[in-house]
């Protein structure tokens, strides 16, 4: 057991467990780091005291209100300790404790440690026990309002929405987040999640999503999240090819003709040209020569930090062209 937060202390009036009369019947168990620990951890006195007693009740199997209080203190000192949370759940179950109060407790703990896996897992278990997720969307919204890309909050929200079938307003919720921050990759991911679990990517939904994403890209052409989402939507077309949608081909050409030189647009255009080559389809708007030129433009001007990558892509495309030419000549 490690002291993951050296600055974390209990209340100022804290009394060590070894000095509490109600704990005199328990013999604390010290941590055994061996005779010659390589790196001895400088535990605080409070930390040693709490975890010495926690080890003792863990060995004895005691499940009582005082042990519940002990797990609270242990969790405050190290909220990432799985054993503490698991034993707390065992105690809660044994005592048939008030789960609404526990939900309030873990909510406050999450607000203090919003990126800790164990505290989110504990909340999920409590919600499962209660079979009631009526507070969860509001709770995750509060957490996400402080950090809109908190992975644990999104993971919990997805579980809640899918488990309790709370999809009705989720797409609108995502839309609101994208209005606030169109670069929020987590919101784009949630949009895909909602569609997959509701309507699915039917031809009508695909067209709607292509138009929606194109409008967001026009607003911010250097938004990588929107370009990635666009690729994801195109994967759901019947062919799975990015060249299968004339709307997107025209959209990319329009952006380019307007003078847009976003690295994401140029990279997308290169992929279009390469796909036409692989399919053996001649495209006047997207010839392979255009892709080779864009590779040079990216390497020299628009994406110089990845210069060597674009040189590699250029060589790869040239080799593909040569192979296609050889095959055609031999046939």
Active-site residue set: 115
> Cβ(288)–Cβ(306) under 8 Å?
no
Coil/strand/helix, residue 96 = coil
φ, ψ for residue 169 (rounded to 5)? -105, 10
Structural tokens at position 91? 């105690």
Alpha helix segments (H runs only) across the chain: 45-60, 65-77, 82-95, 99-112, 117-130, 136-146, 151-163, 170-180, 185-197, 203-219, 224-234, 246-257, 263-279, 288-297, 307-330
Specify burial of residue 259 (Cβ count, 10 A radius: 0-12, 13-18, 19+): exposed
DSSP conformation class of 149: T
């Amino acid at each position: 057991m490690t002291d993951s937060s050296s600055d974390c202390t209990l209340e100022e009036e804290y009394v060590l467990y070894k000095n509490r009369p109600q704990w005199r019947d328990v013999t604390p168990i010290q941590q055994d780091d061996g005779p010659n620990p390589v790196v001895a951890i400088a535990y605080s006195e409070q930390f040693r005291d709490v975890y010495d007693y926690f080890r003792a009740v863990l060995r004895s199997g005691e499940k009582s209100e005082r042990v519940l209080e002990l797990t609270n203190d242990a969790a405050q000192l190290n909220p990432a300790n799985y054993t503490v949370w698991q034993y707390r759940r065992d105690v809660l179950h044994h005592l048939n404790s008030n789960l609404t109060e526990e939900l309030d407790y873990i909510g406050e703990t999450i607000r203090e440690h919003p990126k800790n896996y164990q505290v989110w897992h504990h909340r999920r278990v409590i919600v499962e026990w209660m079979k009631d997720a009526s507070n969860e969307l509001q709770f995750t919204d509060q957490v996400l309002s402080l950090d809109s890309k908190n992975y644990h909050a999104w993971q919990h929200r997805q579980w809640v929405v899918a488990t309790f079938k709370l999809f009705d307003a989720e797409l609108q919720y995502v839309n609101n987040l994208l209005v606030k921050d169109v670069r929020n990759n987590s919101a784009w991911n949630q949009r895909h999640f909602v569609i997959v679990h509701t309507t699915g990517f039917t031809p009508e939904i695909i067209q709607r999503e292509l138009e929606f994403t194109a409008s967001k890209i026009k607003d911010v052409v250097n938004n990588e999240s929107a370009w990635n989402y666009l690729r994801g939507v195109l994967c759901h077309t019947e062919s799975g090819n990015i060249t299968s949608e004339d709307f997107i081909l025209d959209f990319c050409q329009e952006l380019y003709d307007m003078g847009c030189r976003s690295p994401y647009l140029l990279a997308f255009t290169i992929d279009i040209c390469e796909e036409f080559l692989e399919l053996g389809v001649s495209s006047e708007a997207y010839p392979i020569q255009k892709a080779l030129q864009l590779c040079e433009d990216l390497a020299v001007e628009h994406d110089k930090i990845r210069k060597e990558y674009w040189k590699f892509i250029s060589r790869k495309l040239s080799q593909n062209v040569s192979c296609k030419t050889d095959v055609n000549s031999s046939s």
